[in-house]
Chain A
Amino acid sequence: AQSVAQPEDQVNVAEGNPLTVKCTYSVSGNPYLFWYVQYPNRGLQFLLKYITGDNLVKGSYGFEAEFNKSQTSFHLKKPSALVSDSALFFCAVSPITGGGNKLTFGTGTQLKVEL
């Protein structure tokens, strides 16, 4: 069985500071890893994914994530946070079996960026 852990319910950051949202995973074999963002009363927007290759993945809105196989982590980062980045972030994992894969989501981390 696969699982995802997001250890922080909320992360508070001052605008202009770097931010990190943590994610660790457990899956048999090699995983597909994803980050999604959700704004209030909206669906999820795809940010980025790791499939294979370079461990540092760049995504939308200046976000990036680093895949660390030894630590089974896929932390989301951004060098300089904006107030508009405030949202709910979900990490997700699926097994590598082609299309139509089930995603397992973490519990979500609320990011709050303040002036």
Chain B
Amino acid sequence: GAVVSQHPSRVICKSGTSVKIECRSLDFQATTMFWYRQFPKQSLMLMATSNEGSKATYEQGVEKDKFLINHASLTLSTLTVTSAHPEDSSFYICSADPGAETQYFGPGTRLLVL
């Protein structure tokens, strides 16, 4: 139980294009989902908290117009990196909270912007 999927697992795009990453909780409902970014050999940096049916809460320093988050249902949240640039290349990980104090993480999405 408590499986979270992410799609795609890796994506390569050209600078200036937009990329959408999906995060799904497969066997539970998640009122809250989280989006993280991880740089090589570093810890996870929380980007935003996504609540179903409401606007995401962004951490300080994270551009909400660049990283669009939509949490349309209790099992799906999407992160869209708009007008991606090479500095946006990173490993993006989502997590979902079934309301039992524990976050369950997706397998991550490797984004490379050329």
A: which residues have CB within 8 A of B? 32, 34, 36, 41-46, 49, 51, 90, 94, 98-103, 105-108
Contact = CB atoms under 8 A, between A and B. Distances in A.
Given A41-B110, A90-B43, A107-B43, A101 B101 contact: yes
B32 interface: yes
Interface of B: 2, 4, 6, 31-32, 34, 42-44, 46, 49, 51, 91, 93, 95, 97-108, 110
Given A43-B6, A43-B105, A43-B107, A100 B97 contact: yes
Contacts, number: 62
B101 A94 contact: yes
Contact of A49 (B4, B46, B51, B101): B101
Contacts of B43: 90, 105-108
A25 B108 CA distance: 26
